């Protein structure tokens, strides 16, 4: 159960006086388990091996956070969120060691017009389109990511220095946009990002569309910019430009929901890729991905859910003119022990073809290393607790 706290009990910097119109809430999610990976290596071209390991965030990233609001009157509120990501295995902070790496923002909200916030935030593609994918939900999560999370629907990176607008809900219609500043004098476009998205829900139908663009200069990396593109940072790709757009829709009937999502990713000036602890170098290359996902979930009982997704991904590399193809299948069974605690069994299989000489390899989300063969299978079981 979420707990409303006196601010002084959480951080001494907060006010010592509690007001009926103000609140601070502590919340979080812990995802811990054990997983088997059929083939894993951290060095491209080296032989791989089977791997049994403890996991943190196999489905949803473990996190804790503080969120609060102050009623300013007239339908206006001051709001904030500070959210930390961490590994339950060793207690270390995620997102490259940031204290509040998942989210950190403050802003103003109006009941009729929406909210304007400033800080480190999710982009519009994550807000509006990703929830229609299996990996953007609790029914699939990280293990169901599209190859290398090329479209950021699994939220590999957040946007620093960002100003964001999120609309109110107008009879099922929500929309918004975000701009992340480079924060670099004389180099306004070096590591900036912007996005926009829209979502419409009406009865059993939900449809969404979104666009995201990140610009940078890998040869002159701006570490204070919108996205951390350094080795080991947030972004999977080190490139001069990353453009993503997508559309999708879900339809619910009875206890079942089915969905279709398409995303297109285009990378220019690609110099590196870091995914699942594996680094790949590219020579100012171009790379495109087209992801076609069909997904579904079924509530067998109020406590038991089954979900599945199949994603077909077509890639194209400019330097080799090769066109790798990925097939990714994800399955999950989940049992709720209570409103806050559930256990799951999940698995994902990915196969890649036509990838010789491209540097690309099979690599299931959260697998702990790419495969040295054309396929990779990950099977895991775990427990999630929310508070």
What count of Cα atoms within 13 Å lies in the side-chain half-sphere of residue 161? 17
Kind plus residue range of the DSSP H or E element containing 10: helix 7-10
DSSP letter at 124?
Answer: H
Distance in angstroms (rounded) separating the CA atoms of residues 380 and 327:
19
Q: Is 369 helix (H, G, I), strand (E, B) or coil?
A: coil
SS3 annotation, 318-330: CCCCCCCEEEEEE
Find the length of the chain. 387
Q: What is the pLDDT of residues 359-386, one digit of tens each?
A: 999 999 888 789 999 999 999 999 999 9
| Residue 247 to residue 262: CA distance in whole angstroms | 6
Q: In angstroms, rounded to a whole number, what is the distance separating the alpha carbons of residues 202 and 66?
A: 32
Percentage with pLDDT > 70 across the chain: 94
Is-contact 290 150, C-beta < 8 A? no
Nearest CA among 304, 300, 377, 353 for reference residue 143: 377
For the segment 23-43, the average pLDDT, to the nearest whole number, is 94
Report the alpha-carbon distance of residue 97 to residue 84 in Å, rounded.
10
135, 251, 374 from 255: Cα distances, Å:
20, 11, 36
With bands split at pLDDT 50, 70 and 90, how would you rate the model's confidence at 82? Answer: very high
- How is residue 126 written in tokens? 């994550």
Read off the tokens for 19.
């007001």
Core vs surface per residue 222-254: b (16+ CB within 10 A) or e: beebbbbbeeebbbbbbbbbbebbbebbbeeee
Domains recognised in the chain with CATH numbers = 3-386 (2.40.160.10)
Q: Can you tell me the mean pLDDT for 169-175?
A: 97
pLDDT for 230 equals 76
Cβ atoms < 10 Å from Cβ of 32? 17
Dihedral sign of CA atoms 322, 329, 201, 124 in order: negative
DSSP string of 219-271? GG--TTSSS--STTSS-SEE-SEEEEEEEEEEEEETTEEEEEEEEEEEEEEEE
Tell me the β-bridge partners of 247.
209, 262
Query: Model confidence over 295-336: pLDDT tens digits?
Result: 999 999 999 999 999 999 999 999 999 999 999 999 999 999
Mean per-residue pLDDT, 117-125: 98
Per-residue model confidence (pLDDT) at position 80: 98
- For position 8, what pLDDT does the model report? 40
Residue 375: per-residue pLDDT? 96
| pLDDT bucket at 177, cuts 50 / 70 / 90 | very high
Instruction: Kindly tell me the burial class for residue 179, based on how many C-beta atoms sit within 10 Å of its own C-beta (0-12, 13-18, 19 or more).
Output: middle
Find, among 164, 162, 168, 150, the residue nearest to 191 by Cα: 162
| Chain centroid, CA 263 distance in Å | 14
Confidence band, pLDDT 50/70/90 cuts, at residue 187: confident
Tell me which residue of 279, 366, 293, 296 sits closest to 326, measured CA to CA: 293
What are the pLDDT digits (tens) for 198-257? 999 999 999 999 999 999 887 777 888 999 887 667 889 999 999 999 999 999 999 999
Tell me how crowded residue 304 is: count the other CB atoms within 10 A of its CB: 13
pLDDT of residue 17: 41
Residue 368: predicted pLDDT: 79
Give the DSSP per-residue string, 334-348: EEESSSSEEEEEEEE
pLDDT surpasses 80 at 2: no
Which carries the bigger pLDDT value, residue 172 or residue 217?
A: 172
Cα distance between residue 240 and residue 362, in whole Å: 24
Two tokens, residue 104: 């950190």
The string of pLDDT tens digits covering residues 101-119 is 999 999 999 999 999 999 9
Mean pLDDT of the chain: 92
9 has pLDDT over 90:
no
Q: Which of 195, 348, 184 is nearest to 276 (CA)?
A: 348
Identify the helix (H) or strand (E) that includes residue 9.
Answer: helix 7-10
Q: In the chain, what's the furthest Cα-to-Cα distance? A: 64
Residue 93 has a pLDDT of 94
Structure tokens at 333: 């069974």
């Amino acid at each position: 159960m979420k707990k409303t706290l006196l601010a002084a009990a959480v951080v001494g910097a907060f006010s010592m006086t509690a007001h009926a119109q103000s609140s601070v809430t502590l919340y979080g999610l812990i995802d811990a388990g054990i997983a088997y990976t059929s083939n894993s290596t951290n060095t491209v071209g080296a032989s791989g091996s089977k791997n049994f390991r403890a996991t943190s965030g196999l489905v949803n990233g473990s996190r804790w956070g503080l969120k609060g609001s102050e009623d300013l009157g007239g339908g206006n509120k001051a709001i904030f969120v500070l959210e930390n990501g961490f590994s339950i295995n060793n207690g270390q902070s995620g997102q490259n060691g940031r204290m509040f790496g998942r989210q950190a923002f403050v802003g103003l909200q109006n009941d009729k017009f929406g909210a304007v916030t400033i800080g480190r935030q999710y982009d519009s593609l994550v807000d509006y389109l990703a929830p229609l994918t299996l990996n953007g939900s609790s029914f699939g999560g990280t293990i169901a990511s599209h190859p290398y999370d090329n479209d950021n629907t699994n939220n590999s990176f957040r946007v620093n220095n960002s100003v964001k607008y999120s609309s109110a809900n107008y009879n099922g219609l929500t929309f918004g946009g975000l701009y992340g500043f480079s924060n670099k004098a004389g180099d306004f476009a070096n590591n900036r990002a912007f996005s926009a998205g829209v979502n419409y829900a009406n009865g059993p139908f939900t449809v969404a569309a979104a666009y995201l663009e990140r610009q940078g200069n890998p040869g002159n990396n701006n570490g204070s910019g919108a996205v951390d593109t350094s080795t080991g940072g947030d972004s999977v790709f080190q490139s001069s430009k990353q453009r993503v757009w997508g559309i999708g829709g879900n339809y619910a009937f009875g206890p079942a929901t089915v969905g279709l999502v398409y995303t297109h990713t285009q990378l220019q000036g690609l110099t590196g890729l870091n995914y699942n602890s594996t680094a790949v170098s590219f020579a100012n290359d171009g790379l495109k991905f087209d992801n076609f996902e069909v997904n579904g979930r079924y509530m067998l009982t109020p406590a038991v859910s089954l979900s599945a997704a199949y994603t077909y991904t077509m890639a194209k590399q400019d330097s080799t003119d090769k066109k790798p193809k990925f097939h990714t299948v994800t399955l999950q069974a989940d049992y709720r022990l209570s409103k806050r605690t559930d256990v799951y069994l999940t698995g994902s299989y990915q196969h890649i073809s036509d990838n010789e000489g491209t540097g690309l390899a099979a690599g299931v989300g959260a697998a702990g290393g790419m495969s040295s063969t054309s396929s990779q299978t990950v099977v895991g079981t775990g427990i999630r607790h929310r508070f």
